[in-house]
Amino acid sequence: MSDAPQPRPEDPTVEQLGEFELIDALTASFEQGEQVLVGPGDDAAVLRIRTGHVVVSTDMLVEGRHFRRDWVPARDVGHRAAAQNLSDINAMGGRAHSLTIGMAVPADLPVAWATEFAEGFAEECRAVGASVVGGDVTRGDQLVVSVTVLGACTVAPVLRGGAEAGDVLALAGRQGWAAGGLAVLGRGFRSPRVLVEAYRRPAPPYDAGPEAAAAGATAMIDVSDGLLSEAGHLARASGVRIDVRTETLEVPEPLHAVAAATGSDPLRYVLGGGDDHALLATFPDAGSVPAGWTVIGAVSQGEGVTVDGAPYDGPTGWTAF
């Protein structure tokens, strides 16, 4: 029997390629920013932190729970994984600069899928100038992606618990689009395409977080699970009541089309939908709300969240359990 190395197939799986070759293939997509002293390849990354507050967040995507490969191309899964983490730093009023990725991958996962994921992840990171500085891969029964992101706030981070009675509630970014896309995909369709693309690839308002912090936002949160759900987190953390006014909410025409086809209310996608990664924040008054934000409600004494002054009995957002 010959000891000569056997040629790899043209489209190898990760098992056929090997762990360290897979890491090399993934890290080839990740450029390093000026804050990175030591990037992928050592036991840990080394970063240069100049000024401000360091902010850190971790999030996960599990195949079958947070995405399906037959619904979302690998490159777009990469965009989604990066966006949901970059948006958490945005929601603190900061800017992400470094990320690490942990991946558990089935042995039969095509290498091409993994490298396209990395390319999409890197493209999303470039939108804010962030670098992937390390991570890990291991074998798993299902595809799991865990991302840790680090960023910096040049002013005091904006927390969830600072809203006060008399503040206004404002929204930045599109809302309800991804939920509409999910509804379309769940019924086996691919149209309206603009909603499907919104679900596959979020478009967080990355400049809005730092702008809100500089303008004096009193509380802020990323809308990852649902507008009313996140408003509830702000209300609970701040010990206030928040009322959302539906006449202020934009309901785009494609959502009306989906609602008509499914016999539902288009507002349910806006009020209860997640995955767009819009920002929800409170400000002392309407005059302090930056351009690009829309006032959609008010803060008062009390507790909980209401819609147009009354309790809401529809879906408020995604829950993990």
24 is in an annotated binding site: no
43 is in an annotated binding site: yes
CA 79 vs CA 32, 74, 104, 123, 290: distances in Å: 18, 9, 18, 7, 27
191 is in an annotated binding site: no
The amino acid that residue 98 corresponds to is S
Residues 112/11, Cβ–Cβ less than 8 Å:
yes
- Alpha carbons 206 and 174: distance in angstroms, whole number: 12
42 is in an annotated binding site: no
Question: Which residue bears the tokens 């969830």?
Answer: 160
222 is in an annotated binding site: yes
Residues 237/219, Cβ–Cβ less than 8 Å:
yes
Reduced to 3 states, what is the DSSP secondary structure of residue 304?
strand
CA 227 vs CA 18, 61, 243, 244: distances in Å: 43, 20, 12, 9
Residues 308/264, Cβ–Cβ less than 8 Å:
no
Cα within 13 Å of Cα(57), Cβ side: 22
Residues 154/90, Cβ–Cβ less than 8 Å:
no
58 is in an annotated binding site: yes
59 is in an annotated binding site: yes
- Alpha carbons 127 and 180: distance in angstroms, whole number: 25
167 is in an annotated binding site: no
57 is in an annotated binding site: yes
- Alpha carbons 135 and 132: distance in angstroms, whole number: 8
- Alpha carbons 250 and 202: distance in angstroms, whole number: 17
308 is in an annotated binding site: no
**Annotation: binding site for Mg(2+):** 43, 57-59, 88, 136, 222, 225
**Annotation: binding site:** 43, 57-59, 66, 88, 135-136, 160, 222, 224-225, 275, 318
**Annotation: binding site for ATP:** 135-136, 160, 224
**Annotation: binding site for substrate:** 66, 275, 318
